Copies of this chain bind each other. A is one copy, B any other.
């Protein structure tokens, strides 16, 4: 057991076991990171998602969960999906511009 608990175990007010699933990805100096994923997914779902992945992919998964949770907290209706819709729109605009310029050249 670590003498200093990770952000997740601090948040959950429990001891931080040496094999804590959260500890490598939710350091104690960034409590907001765990608070966000806890609020949106719940600790047990985050733990399950991390647990089901190979160890070398867990850091990236924790980061993407944090980003998604941040979007959902900032934009509770659309979350990440709003961002995707907006980017699709931008791509369509860029493609329209390209088509117009190509037509002008031709």
Using a CB–CB cutoff of 8 Å, the interface residues on chain A facing chain B are 39-42, 44-45, 49, 52-53, 57, 60-61, 63-65, 67-68, 71-72, 76-84, 87-88, 90-91, 94-95, 97-98, 101-102, 105
Q: Do residues B45 and A65 form an inter-chain contact, with CB atoms below 8 A?
A: no
A76 to B58, alpha carbons, bound, how many Å? 10
Q: Do residues A53 and B76 form an inter-chain contact, with CB atoms below 8 A?
A: yes
Q: Do residues A49 and B72 form an inter-chain contact, with CB atoms below 8 A?
A: yes
Q: How many copies does the complex hold?
A: 2
A86 to B13, alpha carbons, bound, how many Å? 38
Can you list 28 A-B pairs, Cβ within 8 angstroms, ordered by A? Answer: A39-B45, A40-B49, A41-B41, A42-B45, A49-B72, A52-B76, A53-B76, A53-B77, A57-B77, A60-B77, A64-B77, A64-B78, A65-B79, A67-B81, A68-B72, A68-B80, A71-B80, A79-B80, A80-B81, A80-B83, A87-B87, A87-B88, A87-B90, A91-B94, A94-B95, A94-B98, A98-B101, A101-B102
